[in-house]
Amino acid sequence: MTVVTRFAPSPTGFLHIGGARTALFNWLYARHHNGKFLLRVEDTDRARSTEPATQAIIDGMKWLGLDWDGEIVYQFARSNRHAEVAHELVKNGTAFYCYTTQEELEDFRAKNPNAKFRSPYRDGGIPRPDVPPVVRLKAPIHGEVIVRDKVQGEVTVKNSELDDMVLLRSDGTPTYMLAVVVDDHDMGITQIIRGDDHFTNSFRQVLLYQAIGWQPPQFAHIPLIHGADGAKLSKRHGALGVQEYEKMGYLPEALRNYLLRLGWSHGDDEIISTQQAIEWFDLDAVGKSPSRFDFTKLENLNGHYIREADDAKLVDLAVNSRQQTVTSGQKNILLKAMGGLRQRAKTIVELAEISDFYIAARPIILDDKAKAVIEKGGKEIITGILPELEKLENWNHDNLQQICKDYGEKIGQKLGNIMSPLRAAITGRTTSPSMFEVMDILGKEETTLRLKDVV
């Protein structure tokens, strides 16, 4: 049997971090078993479903690198099929037309707050021409329903605890429960991997599978993600759309790796490549306890992937993060500098910020600390070493280091005291990669002009 999994988001908002992890687990499970991973947009809630939200989901999936097989299935387009199944159930006697009004239903619930609704029309009854009926499942009264979950284990619920759920509303539109079951069956889904907030839905869905005569798929309900404080994940914890993580400078491979480790483990491995994840992933290693989202761990992981990334890729990402026009010459400078810059950044935004001085227009803007260095004896050192630098014909790292070292010995100063004002004048900051590397990359003309700007 070919494994077929699916990710089925509702397009009522962004692709949030919990949904992204669900998509990742489904994708990995399918790829691990050489199966298929399908994408279904559950857009039956027409009042809340939007085209921008649908596009945000698609863009988020593409950015994360979670490719799906075949065309996207849009649930609303299958409404006729859902209704067809509901009416077939009525013909088979496992569903029925219910003429109970909303007012009568509310009255029942007010008088019986803990009781499950059993319709008086379960076994027939006189139709009411003035009341458009709903279609309800004729849920068993006796016995029990068992869900054998790959994560939660075997769980049993008595049928007496389940009600006659609505399958078709009075306007003929399908409910979520009906649409999901029909779509999963028609799409050939073999494993449903989703958050455990859907676990209670499984019992009603199994009853519906049984009523239709279909084999239920295998269920796996993964625990939700909590904040670092153990509370339900919110925006302050990181419950954001994946596009926000892109804007904050995280790499998709880093976010994939981090989400994989939220609720799944492979020994003590923390850095897990995509190929390793596909090779190792299975449901047996998914834990039962909620995971805690930790931005510090994500940043550290992102820093690792930045250090491992291709220089040209990092330049493009840093330039795009700036949202400013950058010339090909400036890109070449950043490409030369990227080896030293990548070691100092944990996000692409940070990488763009610390590389900004390389391509900044003269005169360089000095921050307050850099200004203080220049004002407290820095000008004198720069004035003294400038002629030595201008005389240098073979401008390279080693020669620059020797000139600065020799000048320090000449005036009785440590090398660090020489480099501090040079750094402040050339970069506008008091921290940077190796200044010999920076000066080499910037070249003689740009370096000396920046030094002259402060004296």
Residues that are catalytic: 235
Asked if 338 and 311 count as a contact pair (C-beta separation under 8 A), the reply is yes
Closest CA to 348 of 249, 251, 449: 249
Structure token pair of residue 158 = 């008595």
Radius of gyration of the chain (CA): 32
Q: How far is CA 45 from CA 6, 52, 58, in A?
A: 19, 15, 18
| DSSP code at position 220 | E
d(CA 107, CA 120): 14
Residue 445 has phi, psi (to 5 degrees) of -65, -50
- Classify each residue of 185-211 as buried b or exposed e, where b means 16 or more C-beta atoms within 10 Å of its C-beta: bebebbbbbbbbeebebbbbbbbbbeb
Cα torsion angle, 288, 294, 297, 301, sign: positive
d(CA 291, CA 269): 16
